[in-house]
Amino acid sequence: MKRWAKILLAVVGLVILAVVAIKLFVNANTFRPAIEKQLTTTLGRDVKVGNLSLSLFRGSLVSEGLTVADDPGFSAEPFLTAKEFRIGVSLQTLIFSRQLNLRSFQIESPQIRLIRAANGTWNFSSLGLVRASGAPTSGAASNGTPGSSKGSAPDIADLSVGSIVIQDGHAVIVGLPAHSKPIVYDRVNLTASDFSFRSQFPIGLHAILPSGGTVEVTGHVGPITRDDPASSPVDVQISAKRLDPVAAGILDPGAGVALLADADLHATSDGQTLNTSGTIRVQNLKLKPAATAASKPLDLTYRGTFRLKENAGQIEDASVKIGDAAIHVNGTYKSNAQDAEDPVLNLKLAGQSLSIDELQPLISAAAVRFPNGSVLKGGTVSMNMAITGHAKAAVIIGPIALDNVSLVGFDVGSKIHGIAALSGVKTGDTTNFRKLTVNVHITDAGVVADNIEAVIEGMGELSGSGTVSPTDQLDFNLTVKNAPSKGIAAKVGVGLLTTLNGSGSGSGNGSGVPIHVAGTSEEPYITADVGGAVGKKTKSITSIFGKKK
């Protein structure tokens, strides 16, 4: 046993002596200029590494720092900085031939600065490009798309390594010009195996979202496109949990939309067209700042394409299931060169026979308010809307139709001043719409509603038009005709409404009862112009009711 112990100690001693000797005779810093030159050439950016040391047990050179410059068209600040950078090398060729054979890169806790210009280009778009001296860069200061210069054509530098690893990164996304606070992604972990600019390679990405959710990306990228690395072919699966699109910088905070989403998407690109499809579960949806969050989650399926060079896309179909029916959105959109967050839309939104009761979560999320806190129940709604113009000032036009819908908690009879005042009319606490059709035109200036046609139980046929201002002020001019002998007519007197509606022959050809609606959607003020209508008749109010006996 003592003999073997002595042999083991001797071997350990020799290993220690070898390690010490190698470190004494191999000065790792002598390789620093070569490493910086190769990485600078490969990335097309100025690269600086810190003091180097040799880690024999890990087979790597360890740098005390790393700095990668940004595209000068975007920023003078570094694109990436890190305190530790491990470079996997072949020890045999390093020690005996004093040659660098790079095998892997591992960057620890880097600070990464991602910048998006107003024209939609990113500062990482030019990574890997090698241009002739004096050739213009393609950054935020460029008026064209990346790589569109007619100067010397760029080329992709070649680099092949077994793996590239980024651990515990901290990524900050900034927009140009800066108009909101930067968006931060923490614990960014990225792996790329069998990496080469000239071939496809597998990747994996995991990061903590700004709202505390997570995103995971797996798939393949490459080969890297020579004139625009950002448009390189991809085939990836994206999974996001508790994604807050506003906090993540996907949606403009000024839009007033809020939600949390779990998404599973598949994205493929050939470098020209990006195809996406998948499912999204939306929770706590708010479409307006003052809205109540939707009480139930909404499930959305999506399929679309995006033409990378044109910065334009098409939504082939995006649908939200509503009971046994669905709301469908399709159409096109195009990026706005002046404001990447304000694309130009040309969309269609349609839904047929949608259950009002199933729509309640969306009604709450859209902050739709009904008179006196009443609730819309039962029946169905159909719509066929066009959404056009810039997203921040979109114009929405189209017809809406309701069938057999009840407004529970609203007594329309008691709210009509001029009829109710005559005899205390009350139609009960529910207003039943047998049908209601209207054409709406919605802009930032408010809502214009025309071609209103309705049949209201106990009241008759209603028609007209009106507007709703941005401050929710109502201005509607309507006419009630063909009132039945029940409800309002029975209580006020059949003779009154018969006279106002026409000659009393039941032909329904009279001018009807003019009604004006003012106030707000929550507190409407409805006035019937009984005096004006009666003044046009030859009978007096007394003759309408008949003389007392």
The secondary structure of 217-234 as a DSSP string is EEEEE-SPPSS-GGG--E
Helix (H/G/I), strand (E/B), else coil: 390: strand
CB 390 within 8 A of CB 343: yes
Query: Whose structure tokens read 């709202």?
Result: 211
Residue closest to 442 by CA, chosen among 372, 368, 523, 355:
368
For residue 49, CA distances in Å to 64, 172, 450 come to 7, 22, 69
**φ, ψ of residue 482 in degrees (nearest 5):** 55, 45
For residue 280, CA distances in Å to 7, 123, 234, 237, 297 come to 65, 29, 21, 13, 10
pTM higher than 0.75:
yes
d(CA 245, CA 346): 22
In 10 A of CB 206, how many CB atoms?
Answer: 15
Query: Whose structure tokens read 């959710």?
Result: 213
d(CA 149, CA 194): 31
For the record, the structure tokens of 215 come out as 């995103």
Residue closest to 475 by CA, chosen among 517, 446, 521, 528:
517
The β-bridge partners of 53 are: 62
**φ, ψ of residue 149 in degrees (nearest 5):** -65, 145
Helix (H/G/I), strand (E/B), else coil: 181: coil
Q: Is the peptide bond before 484 cis (omega within 30 degrees of 0)?
A: no
**φ, ψ of residue 264 in degrees (nearest 5):** -130, 110
Encode the chain (549 residues) as per-residue pLDDT tens digits: 565 555 555 555 444 444 444 443 457 788 888 889 888 988 889 999 999 888 766 677 899 999 999 999 899 999 999 999 998 887 666 565 666 778 899 999 999 999 988 777 888 888 877 654 444 455 555 544 444 444 444 455 567 889 999 999 999 988 766 656 788 899 999 999 999 888 999 999 999 988 889 999 999 998 988 777 778 899 999 999 999 988 887 777 777 889 999 999 999 999 889 999 999 999 999 988 888 888 889 999 999 999 988 889 999 999 998 878 899 999 999 988 777 678 899 999 999 999 999 998 888 898 888 888 888 999 999 999 999 999 889 999 999 999 999 999 887 766 777 654 444 444 568 889 999 999 999 999 999 999 999 998 877 889 999 999 999 999 999 998 876 555 444 444 444 444 445 444 444 445 678 889 999 988 888 888 755 555 444 343 333 334 444
Strands 155-156, 129-130: pairing is antiparallel
Does an H or E element contain 60, and which? strand 60-63
Burial class of residue 26, CB neighbours in 10 A (0-12, 13-18, 19+):
middle
d(CA 482, CA 489): 10
Q: Which amino acid is at 327?
A: I
d(CA 452, CA 431): 17
Q: What is the 3-state secondary structure (H, E, C) of 33-53?
A: HHHHHHHHHHHCCCEEECCEE
pLDDT at position 251 is 79
DSSP one-letter code for 28: G
For the record, the structure tokens of 533 come out as 């209508």
For the record, the structure tokens of 458 come out as 């106990």
Does an H or E element contain 361, and which? helix 360-365
d(CA 458, CA 461): 10
Give the angle 408-414-417 at the CA atoms, nearest 5°: 135
pLDDT at position 124 is 87
CB 79 within 8 A of CB 69: yes
CB 259 within 8 A of CB 247: no
pLDDT at position 336 is 80
d(CA 479, CA 477): 7
The β-bridge partners of 157 are: none
**φ, ψ of residue 41 in degrees (nearest 5):** -65, -40
For the record, the structure tokens of 145 come out as 């798309």
pLDDT at position 178 is 61
DSSP string, 286-341: ESSTTPPPPSS-EEEEEEEEEETTTTEEEEEEEEEEETTEEEEEEEEEEEETTEEE
Q: Which amino acid is at 133?
A: S
